[in-house]
Amino acid sequence: MLAIALMMLSACVAPVGGIGDEPSRFLQELPEGVMAIAAPYQNLRAVVLQPEDGCYWYEHVGPVETTMLPLRTAEGRPICTATENRPATTG
């Protein structure tokens, strides 16, 4: 009986290695200027810089799903890098 109980409990233990060993896709350190202007309610530990639009996005973990949202200032403006080399958008 004890052996069966131990086997059942071992299914609840996370395996060693795996996801924790993979390099993070998030920035290791945000620029000070970005941290200074980012609104306080956002997750600044899980931020990426999207090459497609040159803007910072953060991981928002909600009650139903986890999604990436644009990092915004307290005024609601998206935080992006300089726009000099970005192609013009149409539409």
The helix/strand/coil state of 4 is helix
Query: What span, in angstroms and rounded, lies between the C-alpha atoms of 47 and 70?
Result: 9
Query: What span, in angstroms and rounded, lies between the C-alpha atoms of 68 and 70?
Result: 7
The whole-model pTM stands at: 0.66
Q: Cα-flanking dihedrals φ and ψ of residue 35, to 5°?
A: -60, -35
Query: What is the per-residue pLDDT across 10-26, written as a single tens digit (0 to 9) for each?
Result: 444 444 444 455 568 99
Q: What is the DSSP letter of 13?
A: S
Q: What is the DSSP letter of 15?
A: P
Calculate mean pLDDT across residues 37-56.
Answer: 96
Largest CA distance in the chain: 69
